[in-house]
Structure 1
Amino acid sequence: MQTVYFFFLTAFMLIISQLEAVAQTGAIKGRVTAAGQPLEFVTVVVPGSTLGVTTARNGEFALAGIPAGSHELVFSFLGYETSRLSLTVADGQTAEANVKLQPTTSRLKEVVVTGVSRSTEVRKSPVPIAVLSKRQMNLNSNSNIVDAAVKGVPGLSAVTTGPNISKPFIRGLGYNRVLTLYNGLRQEGQQWGDEHGLEVDQYDIDRVEVVKGPASLIYGSDAVAGVINLLPATPNGPEGAVVGDAVAEYHSNNGMVGTSAGLSYRKRDWQYAFRASQKTAANYQNRVDGRVYGTAFRELMLSGMAGITKDRWFSHWYTTLYDNRQEIPDGSRDSLSRRFTKQIFELDRDNLTQRPVVTEDGLRSYSIGALHQRIQHYRLFTRSQVRLGQQELTALLGAQQNVRREFNHPTAPQQAGLYVALTTFNYDLRYSLPSWQGLETTLGANGMYQRNRTRDATDFPIPSYALFDAGGYVFLKRAFGKLDLSGGLRYDARTLRWDAFFVGPNPATGFAQRVGPSIDLAPQFPAFRKLYRGASASLGATYNFSEQLLLKANIARGYRAPNITEVGSNGLDPGAHIVYLGNRGFTPEFSLQEDLGLTTYRPNLDASLELFNNHIRNYIYQAKLYDADGQPVVIVPGNTTYQYKQSAARLYGLEATINLHPQSTRWLAFENSLALVNGLNKDHHLLETNGRAAKYLPLIPPLHTRSEVRITLAQPAKGLDKMYFRAGAEYYAAQNHFYAVDNTETRTPGYVLLNAGAGTTFTNRQQVSVCQLFIQLDNILDIAYQSHLNRLKYFEYYAVSASGRRGIYNPGRNFSLKVIVPF
């Protein structure tokens, strides 16, 4: 691995040394205001480059390393019209750009950088892209960053296991099919599992960008569903001053208390930032189950950044630490009272009907129970860039480690059942060539080296393995008048291997343990080595009929190599209560997706319609395993056995938005969205033997609509600014299209959730923000419901329930309060 890093570092330095030192550059600085007041967090970019920044609290910004010549700046901010400014930069000089933005409620003109090689606008990208700003995330109460994004991006959903475990799904596809990034770095944290969420501090995220579909070529394989890029805040305060903010949040449903404090500092060419956050919650509750035992959690997050920015180059270093203790619900109850019980003995002595009932104090306690998981994630990476004229060379080098332990032994609470450490080294080298005849070209290579090691454990669902991944791409973009074209090609290769892995009894503890090779034992995981290769491509166009009407079309081929669980599983996952069996003969998945979109911007409304059709070859899914007599295979008593299978699949659907913002009543906004996806199983043998039960794919979200009315006071009151009131409704239709083979899934009834909120910004005499307040009431009517993507829906031990309701329900009514104090 050191050789790989040395090669890329040497290549980076050699290219830098070859760049001409006579390039002429200057700088741009300015201030952004609206109604005479400074605007913070306004995005300022130079289109066709990766140059960009956000404004500070006083509305000021500064851009260095601007090539001498004529340029266009684009200013964008939620709630205001996008503004463009042309100016000329002279060598060694600083040009000024002061801009006044006009208010609007349009949400479709944000400037983004994800999924393409250089900055572009949503309106010009043929790839379906959605953007979620910091303010949008604050407007919606949430327990984690995935839930925050789900509430703001149509087509994005989440498979959940309680309020703090959410796995992102894009258009019905998730796990390794969704590539999650933290500031451009691949998030590698055992993402193929169900029992934990993203290891990211939600208070640190300033912006979320979502690419829908396999059209993103620059980040690597696995993105057959799309890409989610989580962008942290960057230092943007006045030079020489320490600035920051403090956050306090409370949720009534589970008593969650979240606090966070961040600091940043800029001096000359240097920038520094630091943030510390924590969240603590007891068990959540609903009116069917009461408090749900095993859903308490405690998180600690630390992050830091240091960087230097010069006229022609910059280098930024980031580090994060994430530590989460998360209880493990199993759904066991008293058969008559339906009160939750807890396991106190091991499997051989454990009698489900004799488990003790959890006390009321135990249900309300913030203490983490003996049966829990602990997830630690450490991240260190650097992003560096050299700019010379229109050329840009960007390098990313990163290292991260994810340590996951599941403590599932009630008689030996210090003994981890599952204990794995995943170490990943990432590399990314990108070169943007000078524009030639209007053609923008980007070349790049990236990949990773990964090792997963099993430590002192008793359960071994996967072997220790090593993975090496490498890929290269070319991305092109050109405008022909009203027509914008973009596309590219990519090729990836991945090697997956492990040595023979033996498991035997531990005489001292009575549990299983990893042992050395033995002639008396067959390996639980025989040695394996395989090379996976695949090509992906994308071609799209945006036609601007006018400034108010655009048509987009894109076709893309995606590629994904099978992950470790799909190939190598052979053991019990104690958190899921499932024995997984992999398939060594799997071949990579390939998808072919067509996207068609229509967007209109009108004075009183904006609207969009996105249609997609996705065919997947070699689609991998789980199915219950049966023996030759048609009986379910039981390898570990009390646990179900599933084996991964492969077939063809098709997913199709649409997303639509209509946002009304009448010019005559600028204080009023009415926003509406709809998302629909249908997943069809194309396994002909399965369809012949199981009929309609096998027609649909698992984990497909139902039809979902979201409507919201928001009133924002146009004129600030004394000491108050940006005061708003909002009310909304979310409708989830009944999901009748589900994977019913072996009762893997069941029908989910539809439901409606009503929500309301209010907030304001408190200001001083100089109209500068001193405090932001956000109040939210979710599920006002305290509806008892089960989301179709809620894994707890299937946590049930009894064939018949005394109450007639089976499984665990989603959280009930929740009142939340968030206060942000800048300083």
Structure 2
Amino acid sequence: MNSVILWSFLALFSFFPENLFAQEIRVAGFVTDRNNQPLPAMIEVKNSYSDSIRTRFLANERGAFEVLIYRDEVLVFSHLGYEIQELTAFAASPVRIKMSESVTELEVAVVFGDRAVIGSRESSMSDLIVSKEEIQNSQSLTFAGALEKIPGVSSINLGVGVAKPVIRGLGFNRILVNDKGIKQEGQQWGADHGLEIDAHDVERLEILKGPNSLKYGPDAMGGVLNILPEQPLHRDGLEGEASFDHQSNSQYFGQSVHVKGRIDNWYSMGRLTHSSHGDYQVPAESYVYAGYVLPIFNERLKNTAGNALHFSATVGKILSHGKSQVTVSRFGQQAGIFTGAVGIPTAFSLEDDGNSRDIGLPRQLNTHWKVISNTQWTSGNRAMEMDLGFQRNIRHEESFPHIHGVGPTPSGNLALGLDLSTFTANYREVLHLNKDTRLSYGLMGQTMRNGYQGFEFLLPAYSSHLAGVYLILNQSIEDRFHWNAGLRLDGNILNIEEHLQAVYNRLEPTGEFDQRNPDVEKRTLSPSFSGGISWEINPSNSLKVNFGSGVRFPTPIELASNGIHHGNFRHEIGDKNLVTERSYQIDLSYGWSSENFSFGISPFGSVYRGYIYLAPSGRFSPLPGSSTLWEYKQDDATFFGGEFSAAYKSPFHVDFRLGMDYVWNYNLVSNLPLPLTPPFSLLSGITYKRDVKIGILEKIVLELDFRQVAAQNMVARNERTTAGSQLIDLTMRASIKLGKNPLEINFGVKNLTHQSYFNHLSRYRLINIPEPGRNFIVGLSIPFMNIH
């Protein structure tokens, strides 16, 4: 089946006649200010006839860039406080772009290091572009964890290698992760199911905060993480890079190999990543589960070791007015489930077995297959994109049947088996009506089927069909004031099957069945709308305002779950009477910049009608061997908060940065806060960066980060409060020239002072287990091939 789908996508290439393929132009160079200091400028690739933007990216910290463009495209360079420059004639590389301070115009972005904070000058949304370097330098084991230095972004984590992103206090199916144009599935299964994305495999990331349902659909109420396709080589050749990572906590080892190649108009790229870690280490000697105080031997959580293997392969062809490619990837993960939080806990089952890297029962095995086709092309004043995708998520939880009080079944040790297949198709088009006005429209369709196996029950079998259509009008006035408005209509058909579980008495079937959930059918049609402005006030000031209303359909786990979720240490129960959730949100962004100082502030506010949330009931589960009972509820709620970022570039190779975020929410029915709200957080940092040119040593970077997290006393009923914390992280990086390409060395220490603290969003917080102590990190990146 998978091979049929792959060959079907490959057949898309034959849609384009051969005379559309042509050689493109490779452009490389440097961007500097008038004093020849490098600028990490925003670079847009635009069609010279329609002004449509094909892609945009940041020059690196040295101002260097390299890109392939077609014969009818131009490059636009911009940076807040500098005049926009357009490059239309392309001499021999490298070209040098020297930007002058602006006296009449404002550019597109406020730039903080490897990050563009305000984003496209025509968009009314608060969007960020995060570079590959920032993700790699975060020294995080997960893609979601790599974004935690960005104000307004946090993550829900569960030990090593499992994390989900949270934007402004919203997560799960309110945050859409868009991988190469296709919505990443699997988030709806729970917090202990990670994103299943290799952080090494993310070259360019766009973060959209706030309401984005208009363009991306119902799951984008709180924001979007848009993983953009990797760019092919700009000329014929072959390049390769290997990276190695080690962390002292849990003895983590990771290796990743990346290769890119190109011959004429055909290109390919591939990556292979493997990682493994031992049992999770925490600075604690005991924890609390189901009312028991139990020991933690040698400060290790028994049976929390794991490993992961990921590969991706892409093949594509360059068109004279676009490109088309197919990507096949597989993410596989095997991880133990903490023995002390499954079934009826005993001190005996927690004793050290002498092997901190074995993965015994209970455990989870996750596999995520993806086949994605991306095609984009332009024709006159039209720019078109088509994305097709197939995903298969397979999750197995294995354990001993007897520890749950359930009789033997033919499934053996398979406690829970979930198998989700998803087909997705997206089509988008931008029509330029004139120089200042463009019309964007698109169609989206998705169908999915989830199967169920195992002797336990959490989520029933279901099928879902989703379709949407949108229309957006954008207009610019004197190239300084931009406004947009749009409408969207989404429809959803959801069918959830009844699940009956056999009742046993002393391991013998009684012939009776317990209905864990009834048949559920939902048919919904809901509109969304959004509008906003982007105003370039003067050469140093930019303001954006966006107002929107979006919808989110209840997920199957919210409607029909009724079982023990061991990864979350609780029994979760859904409500079939939940209705469509609607939000009304306003988002503002203001940015100011001078030659050496920049800051941005982004307040927001929202009201939710029928906000769906999971809350502790204050009761114990009636199921054997489980803990507390959590219930899905629906009430009206409101959210307010914002982010602040500032950066100062001193003349002494030292940069200072500051970021903070705050979320306040309120349940308008219970008159209490909502559960799992991120506390106020402040991150300040100092960076010393210098090109030294001493022997083989080319560059050194020293970073010191101070994170202060306030106590979270704003909690829901029966939710624990969490004390504040102060953490210090140290990072040192160096570039060493060996041959033609520099070797990158990365060393860091997380939690330098070995503080014992709790993360309010961590699932281990529920059983009183703190975050890891001091953690030493070593990374190495080695270019091993560069043939042109």
TM-score normalised by length of structure 1: 0.83
1:722 equivalent to 2:696? Answer no
1:122 deviation in Å? 3.9
For residues 395 and 236 of structure 1, what CA distance do their matches in structure 2 show? 22
Deviation at 1:527, TM superposition (A): 2.1
Task: Determine which structure has the larger strand proportion and give its number.
Answer: 2
Among 238, 245, 268, the residue aligned to 1:272: 268
Q: Does 1:775 align with 2:752?
A: no
Q: Tell me how far apart the structure 1 counterparts of residues 381 and 163 of structure 2 sit (CA, whole Å).
A: 41
Could you tell me which amino acid in structure 2 is paired with residue 504 of structure 1?
A: A
Alignment pair present for 1:108 and 2:94: no
Alignment equivalent of 2:373, drawn from 377, 382, 388: 382
* Matching of residues 310-349 of structure 1 within 5 Å: 310-329=319-338, 331=340
Aligned match for 1:530, one of 522, 525, 533? 522
1:731 aligns with 2:708: yes
Q: Does 1:64 align with 2:70?
A: yes
Identity of aligned residues (%): 26
Give 1:597's aligned residue: 589
1:369 to 355, 360, 371: 360
What whole-Å deviation, never above 9, does each CA across 1:465-488 have from its counterpart, x for those lacking one? 000000000122221122121232
What's the counterpart of residue 393 of structure 1? 384
The alignment status of 1:790 with 2:787, answered yes or no, reads: no
3-state SS, counterpart of residue 696 of structure 1 = coil
Residue 646 of structure 1: which of 607, 610, 634 is its match?
634
Distance 1:39 1:779 in 2: 32
Say whether the 8 Å CA contact 2:398–2:416 is kept in structure 1: yes
Find out whether 1:177 has 2:147 as its counterpart: no
Do structure 1's residue 73 and structure 2's residue 59 form an aligned pair? no
Q: CA deviation at 1:714?
A: 4.3
How far apart, CA to CA, are the structure 2 residues paired with 1:370 and 1:380?
32
Please list, as runs of the form range in 1=range in 2, the aligned pairs for 1:63-212 lying within 5 A after superposition: 63-64=69-70, 66=72, 71-74=74-77, 84-88=84-88, 98-100=94-96, 108-109=110-111, 121-151=119-149, 153-212=150-209
1:522-567 deviation per Cα after TM superposition (whole angstroms, max 9, x unaligned): 6433222111222222111121111211122111112100011111
**Equivalence for 1:497:** 495
Aligned length: 741
- Specify the code of the residue in structure 1 equivalent to 2:392: Q
Q: Is this contact kept in 2: 1:424–1:450, CA < 8 A?
A: yes
Q: In the alignment, what sits opposite 2:252?
A: 256
Displacement of 1:37 in angstroms is 13
Unaligned runs of 5+ in 2: 101-107, 286-298, 403-407
Output the amino acid matched with 1:148. A
Deviation of the 1:570 alpha carbon: 2.5
* Pair 255,724 (structure 1): closer, same or farther in 2 beyond 3 Å: same
> d(CA) in 1 for partners of 2:525 and 2:509?
36
CA contact (8 A) 1:490 1:536 kept: yes
Match of 2:293 in 1: none
In the alignment, residue 811 of structure 1 is paired with which amino acid? P
| Residue 623 (structure 1) shift | 3.5
Q: 1:155, 1:655 within 8 Å by CA — same for their partners in 2?
A: yes
List per-residue Cα deviations over 1:472-506 (Å, max 9, x = no partner). Answer: 00122221122121232111011100333332258
> Unaligned stretches of 5+ in structure 1?
333-342, 688-694, 796-806
Shift, 1:103, TM fit: 11
Match of 2:279 among 279, 283, 300: 283
What amino acid is aligned across from residue 61 of structure 1 in structure 2? V
Kept in 2: contact 1:109–1:122 (CA 8 A): no
Distance across 2 between alignment mates of 1:16 and 1:235: 19
Tell me whether 1:51 sits opposite 2:54 in the alignment: yes
Alignment of 1:358-507 (within 5 A): 358-359=351-352, 361-362=354-355, 365-409=356-400, 415-455=413-453, 457-481=454-478, 482-504=480-502
In the alignment, residue 492 of structure 2 is paired with which amino acid?
R
Equivalent residues of 1:324, 1:376 under 8 A apart: yes
SS of corresponding position for 1:716:
strand
CA contact (8 A) 2:43 2:76 kept: no
Q: Give the match for residue 405 of structure 2.
A: none
One-letter amino acid matched to 2:315: A
* Aligned-pair Cα RMSD in Å: 3.7
Deviation, 1:84, is: 4.8
- Distance, in Å, in 1 between the alignment partners of 2:158 and 2:566 is 14
Q: C-alpha displacement at 1:385, in angstroms?
A: 1.8
Q: TM-score, normalised by structure 2?
A: 0.86
- Provide closer, same or farther for how the CA distance between residues 473 and 731 of structure 1 changes in structure 2, counting only shifts above 3 A: same
Whole-angstrom CA distance in 1 between matches of 2:53 and 2:399: 48
Aligned residue in 2 for 1:213: 210
Q: What does residue 692 of structure 1 align with?
A: none
User: What SS class does the counterpart of residue 135 from structure 1 fall into?
Assistant: helix
- 1:558-637 → structure 2 map (5 Å cutoff): 558-625=550-617, 634-637=622-625
Q: 1:101 to 1:758 in 2, by over 3 A?
A: farther
- 3-state SS in 2 of match to 1:417: strand
Aligned-residue offset at 1:157: 0.9
- Whether the aligned pair in 2 keeps the contact of 1:28 and 1:96 (CA below 8 Å) is no
Change (3 A) 1:498 1:558: same
- Between the aligned partners of 2:752 and 2:113, the Cα distance in structure 1 is 35
Deviation of 1:369 (Å): 2.0
The answer to whether the 8 Å contact 2:40/2:111 transfers is no
- Choose from 740, 753, 774 the match for 2:727: 753
Please list the CA deviations of residues 210-268 of structure 1 after superposition, one character each: whole Å capped at 9, or x if unmatched.
Answer: 111113522211111111122353332641x2111000011011110000001110111
> Deviations 1:75-95 (Å, cap 9, x if unpaired)?
78xxx9988543557xxxx87
Native 8 Å contact 1:762 1:770 kept in 2: yes
> What are the Cα deviations for residues 170-214 of structure 1, in whole angstroms up to 9, with x where unaligned?
111111111111122100014340212111111111122211111
* Alpha-carbon spacing, 1:410–1:29, altered in 2? closer, same or farther (3 Å): same
